[in-house]
Structure 1
Amino acid sequence: MDPVIVVGAGPVGLALSLALARHGVPSVVFDAGDGEVEPRAARTCVLRPDTAAYVSALGGARWAAWRTERRRQVVRRVELDTAGSPLHLQQYALERSLRAALEREPLARIVTGARLEELEQDAHGISVRTRGPEGTWWRGSHLVGCDGARSTVRKLLRIRFPGRTSVERHAVAALRVELPWDGEALLHRDVPGGGGEVVARPLPNGVWRLDWLLPPRGDLVTPEELVDRIRWTLSAWCDPIPPYELLDTGVHIAHQRLARHWRAGRAFLAGDAARLLGALGTQPVDEGLRDAANLAWKLALCLHGQAPEELLDSYETERRGAARARLRALDQALPLVRGGGGLRTLLPGGSRGQLDLLTDAHLGLGPLGAPPHYGDSPLAPGKDAVPGAVSVGTEPGAPVDDVPVTALDGSRGRLWQRLGRDLLVLLVAPGTHVWDSRHWLSAGLMPELAAVVGRLPVPAELLVTESYPGAVAHTVLVVRPDGHLVTALPGGRSGDLLTCVEAMRGAGVEEAGDRAGQADRP
């Protein structure tokens, strides 16, 4: 099998290569640099809990709460537990963690100093040339451009990248300092003494990242001006100003752009090469990692001959659709949150409503921050094909909740820990935790269900859980490798289970119905 060529060794490219290796697919990652990860303390990322579980990122900080203040008044305070708190970490720590994991994967290879020059496709694969005295040609089955906002892959594919420039600017600083809120993140508008808007988010080892909102277009922020911002901000929060160590600074500029297409034959775009966002607290690295999770299992099924090539079209449909919805929500919110005068009266609750929008974006809630929902995906089985589907607390196409699960070998863990590999079939079976798996494996629905799962046309794992929100006993949930629910079924409907899996792998409903009918025959 020819490897998948991944262009770009940032978090998205590294995560995609790691995900492909876990699916048994070889890959080669082109790193235009020297392989060294620059330790920029002020360059951080916030990962939603399910994304953090998917990449198994370590070393970040979970927030105990989120505070929203205006002047000296607390507008909102949200308590956060481990399950619901985002993970905040320096981007270099994430990249180093992913690189270390890739070094242990025999199916993955990182090539440093590799800059893409040419790209050619044919019916059987893709060929690229990297820069050098004579150039080096590489052959792959597919190629994914994870090479950032100035993507060479996107330019070689001649894909347009329309949008808006500099919709938000932030001055950023990483400080080692002791602040009054132990482990709590803060959004503070109209800070006494200096005005403006500041976000303070804790990192490990007593480090905080501070972001000050700047005018969309304006003069450069000098080092002296940034120190002034730090001092008046700390003086508004602490009396006297506490000692601090300035670790890193920068200016972050948020643009809004969306590539016209995310697939061109055997080539794909992911991460910042495909879309730019980041205004109002949205998280581009988290979005890019969702691209990797979505594309990896689809490439794996196709390359292993377990799904038709048409399955890959759903990557653009789902992920570009999610990005378009996010950008639409940003377009609607920006004039309300950042506008002045009469525009504020259009938003119920005035300033409180604006701060609620910002809080939701930072916490992964609402249209600005919630994980994507693929309810209209072409991979969703139609109601006519699966008339017996039942409702649970998760809608089809939405990410599943993280619940305790037990595998057939008796091992226990969490549902999100099993993502990123095979399709998951989850049976809700109350009472199983008190029994040894040897007893319930041969009882009730388990023998039939285990047999059906073993005959599915894609690799699948059968799990059992005591309960799932909104699900009654003996409900069966079908979960994609990227954690999105395909559907929920009453136990015992093996034909419907096969139909759902066929739809998920891109097979036609007609073919799926034929297979389901054969499975139900005695």
Structure 2
Amino acid sequence: MPAVIVVGAGPVGQTAALLLARWGVPVVVLDARPARDVVGSRAIVQQRDVIDIWDAVGVGRRIADEGLTWRTARTYHRGRELFAVDFVDSGRSPFPPFANVSQARTEELLDERLARTPLAEVRWGHRVVGLEQDDEGVTVVCETPAGERLLRASHVLACAGARADTLRRDLGLTFDGETFDDQFLICDLRTDLPGWETERRFHFDPVWNPGRQVLVHPCPGGTFRVDWQVAPSFDLAREEACGGLDRRIRQIVGDRPYELVWRSVYRFSSRVVPQMRVGRVLLAGDCAHLMSPFGARGLNSGVQDAENAAWKLAYVHHGWSPESLLDTYHTERHAAALENLAVAGATMRFLVPRTDDERRHRHDVLSRAATDPAARALVDSGRLAEPFWYTDSPLTTPNPRYPVTGRPPRGRTHPPAPGVLVPDVQTRDGTRVRALARRPTFDPVVVDHAEVPAVPDGQVWVLRPDAHLAAVLDAADTAAIGAAALRAVGNV
């Protein structure tokens, strides 16, 4: 019997399975589809700290190498360039700030790794239609081509995506929020656009899409991902039949030849479940929260859900921590979901204003942004995803000498403080501290200046298994260090 059943073989479920297996936990992944459907770019911006998580399971380097990192973000209003922002990487990390690579390719690379992971098994054609919990575990009811099948596990991690309505309903969960009226047309185009391969271009109210937005992202292999905001009544089949889709594409690529690789239309939603833990079942990714893609917070936050859940399930499975450790999964990742929803919601209010005040604000900001730096800072086309800080977690030992002072300016990192992701620094022998923290061992990692030069002399960092700082303490306070290490894994 597997210790954990993961429902859903998307990137979140794949990551969770690989991490659980790395912790020595047997895991089975169930997916309703008959096989992997490798189609479309879907989630394309894989953020550095998520690539770092994938590196722990042997995939991050390949995703970074195959991905494309653009260097300049250009923003336009009615055809006029308002400003351009150049991303300057400090070079501290071996990974780029982000990598544009299709979700389909990411899934292929994760599948390859899963196939070489003995403790993880993926079963396609297993549609989960029911969950029954008791004091010993969870019975998962599946529909398969061979008929109904019952599977047992100690715990279930539900990564079944946005459409997992039946699963959420069986768990007694609502999925409250809203869906935006406007649709978004997404196309993957293969074409030659010299100079565009290192630039992201965001158009507010272009003459060729009046009153709405267009976003152009470069991707590997001479492919460009284009997102058009379109009217609620937009009909893709009708647009293709009348030649409108070609005309729309020509407004961007001109008379160059192009190949339409993929297209889709959908609406963005903003939703979250009230609980991400229900007994022996944890929910992660789109199964637990939905947000607009501007800022790339969907897949990235889902992978961070997976890491948080995996190490805690592993600690409970091995008997290293009590079952109550799983309560902190909800505490931490629900707070992360709410932060992401708030940031993505503010972006959508700027992109799709719904009130007169919002429309006036947007018009004023865009009108002034070309010449007014203060207005330029208010233009919101989406802030890239960032790791959540567990400053208020019961696993974190606060220290008023090292406070968290809020998000730093773009391109900068927060000084080491309890709850924050540890800086990407190295030990004296060249080992990355984040990799050291993520080793699958019982004891939380504790480092000082003697081992890690970046740690100030006289200070100690206590690291969680997900590389967040559980505590920043004085090196002489051994009792506090021991207590913080216990608290970091729920043993208080």
Which TM bucket (shorter chain)? 0.7 to 0.9
Count of matched residue pairs? 452
Match of 1:85 among 94, 97, 102: 97
CA distance in 2, matches of 1:390, 1:321: 19
CA deviation after TM superposition for structure 1 residue 251, in Å: 1.5
**Deviation at residue 346 of structure 1 after TM alignment:** 4.2
Shift of 1:2: 4.2
Cα distance in 2 for residues equivalent to 1:147 and 1:355: 39
Cα distance, 1:76 vs structure 2 = 3.1
- In the TM superposition, residue 142 of structure 1 has moved relative to its aligned partner by 0.1
Change (3 A) 1:358 1:44: farther
| Aligned CA distance change for structure 1 residues 16 and 355 (closer, same or farther; 3 Å) | farther
Q: What is the aligned counterpart of 1:232 among 248, 251, 257?
A: 251
- Decide whether the 8 Å contact of 2:43 with 2:296 is kept in 1: no
Given the alignment of the two structures, is residue 399 of structure 1 paired with residue 415 of structure 2, yes or no?
Answer: no
Alignment match, 2:201: 186
The 1-side partners of 2:329 and 2:286 are apart by 16
Question: Distance between the aligned counterparts of 2:188 and 2:116, measured in 1?
Answer: 32
Q: Equivalent residues in 2 for 1:185-204 (5 A)?
A: 185-195=200-210, 196-204=212-220
Partner residue in 2 for 1:243: 257
Q: Secondary structure at the match of 1:350?
A: helix
Contact 1:42 1:250 in 2 (8 A): no
Aligned to 2:172: 158
TM-score by length of 2: 0.84
Structure 1 pair 160–88 and aligned structure 2 pair: CA distance change class (3 A): same
Deviations 1:437-492 (A, max 9, x none): xxxxxxxxxxxxxxxxxxxxxxxxxxx3332xxx5224321222222211212324
Partner of 2:395: 379
Distance 1:210 1:405, change over 3 A: farther
The answer to whether residue 105 in structure 2 is matched with residue 100 in structure 1 is no
Instruction: Determine the C-alpha separation between the residues in 1 that align with 2:227 and 2:437.
Output: 33
Aligned CA RMSD, in angstroms, stands at 2.6
- Is the 8 Å Cα contact of residues 398 and 418 (structure 2) preserved in structure 1? no
How many angstroms apart in 1 are the aligned matches of 2:206 and 2:401?
56
Residue 460 of structure 2 is aligned to residue 476 of structure 1: yes
Offset, 1:140 = 0.5
The residue aligned with 1:149 is 162
Aligned-pair CA distance for 1:134: 4.7
Asked if 2 retains the 8 angstrom alpha-carbon contact of 1:175 and 1:246, the reply is: yes
> What residue is the counterpart of 1:205 in the other structure?
221
Letter in 2 for 1:68: T
What is the deviation of 1:119?
Answer: 1.6
Distance 1:242 1:40 in 2: 24
Structure 1 unmatched runs, 5+: 236-240, 430-463, 509-522
Higher mean displacement: 373-382 or 162-171: 162-171
Q: Secondary structure at the match of 2:382?
A: helix
Equivalent-residue separation in structure 2 for 1:402 and 1:285 (angstroms): 22
Change (3 A) 1:197 1:125: same
1:268 counterpart SS class = strand
Shift of 1:357: 5.8
Say if 1:475 and 1:491, in contact at 8 Å, map to a contact too.
yes
1:349 Cα deviation (Å)? 6.6
Q: Distance in 2 between matches of 1:376 and 1:167?
A: 35
2:358 to 334, 343, 348: 343
In structure 2, relative to structure 1, the CA distance for the partners of 1:475 and 1:347 (3 Å cut) is farther
The 2-side partners of 1:193 and 1:172 are apart by: 16
Q: Which stretch has the larger CA shift, 341-350 or 289-298?
A: 341-350
Question: In structure 2, how many angstroms separate the alpha carbons of the residues matched to 1:345 and 1:158?
Answer: 41
Is the alpha carbon distance of 1:415 and 1:110 closer, same or farther for their aligned partners in structure 2, counting shifts above 3 Å? same
- Deviation of 1:304 (Å): 0.8
Match of 2:439 in 1: 421
In the aligned structure 2, how far is the partner of 1:347 from the partner of 1:251?
25
Larger mean Cα displacement after TM superposition, 187-196 or 340-349: 340-349
Give the CA deviation at 1:218. 2.1
Distance 1:147 1:189 in 2: 34
Equivalent AA in structure 2 for residue 67 of structure 1? R
1:136 alignment partner in structure 2:
149
- Counterpart-to-counterpart distance in 2, 1:45 and 1:356: 25
Partner of residue 61, structure 1: 68
Q: What does residue 475 of structure 2 align with?
A: 491
CA contact (8 A) 1:168 1:255 kept: no
Which residue of structure 1 aligns with residue 22 of structure 2? 22
Q: Residues 40 and 327 from structure 1, CA distance in 2 versus in 1: closer, same or farther, beyond 3 angstroms?
A: same
Look up the match of 1:459: none
From 299, 304, 307, give the equivalent of 2:313: 299
SS at match of 2:301: helix
Provide Cα deviations, 1:181-225, integer angstroms capped at 9, x if missing partner: 34122212233544432211111111111111223x222132232
CA contact (8 A) 2:131 2:138 kept: yes
Query: Could you list the runs of 4 or more consecutive aligned residues of structure 1 that deviate by over 6 angstroms after TM superposition?
Result: 387-392
Q: Which residue of 1 aligns with 2:386?
A: 370
Deviations 1:66-101 (A, max 9, x none): 222222224231224365621211111111111111
Q: 1:44 to 1:4 in 2, by over 3 A?
A: same
- 2:126 aligned partner: 114
The offset of 1:19, in angstroms, is: 0.7
The one-letter amino acid of 2:37's match is: E
Moved more, 336-345 or 151-160: 336-345
CA 334–372 in structure 1, closer or farther in 2 if over 3 Å, else same: same
- Secondary structure of 1:289's match? helix
CA positional deviation for 1:123: 1.1
- In structure 1, C-alpha distance between the alignment counterparts of 2:380 and 2:362, rounded to whole Å: 15
Distance in 1 between residues matched to 2:361 and 2:262, nearest whole Å? 39
Percent identity between the aligned chains? Answer: 32
Q: Which amino acid aligns with 1:94?
A: T
Aligned to 2:51: 52
Correspondent of 2:283 among 251, 260, 269: 269
Shift of 1:415: 3.2
Over 3 Å counting, the alpha-carbon distance change for 1:300 and 1:349 in structure 2 is farther
How far apart are the structure 2 equivalents of 1:499 and 1:349? 53
d(CA) in 2 for partners of 1:357 and 1:167?
Answer: 24
- Over alpha carbons, which structure has the higher Rg? 1
Give a deviation string over 1:281-315, Cα, whole Å, max 9, x none.
34311111011011111111111111111110011
Structure 2 match to 1:503: 487
Q: Tell me how far apart the structure 2 counterparts of residues 92 and 2 of structure 1 sit (CA, whole Å).
A: 27
Counterpart code for 2:475: G
Q: Distance in 2 between matches of 1:68 and 1:424?
A: 43
For residue 436 of structure 1, what is the aligned residue in structure 2? none
Correspondence for 1:127: 139
Q: Which is further off, 80-89 or 153-162?
A: 80-89
Contact 1:11 1:95 in 2 (8 A): yes
Match of 2:214, SS?
Answer: strand
Return 251-260 or 279-288, whichever deviates more.
Answer: 279-288
Does the 8 A contact of 2:391 with 2:398 survive in 1?
A: no
Q: What displacement does 1:413 show?
A: 3.9
Cα pair 2:213 2:351 within 8 Å, conserved:
no
**AA matched with 1:375:** T
Question: Matched residues in 2 for 1:342 and 1:117: separation?
Answer: 46
1:231, 1:418 → 2: CA distance? Answer: 50
Amino acid in structure 2 at the alignment position of 1:33: R
3-state SS, counterpart of residue 245 of structure 1: strand
Residues 495, 49 of structure 1: alpha-carbon distance in 2 compared, 3 angstrom cutoff: same
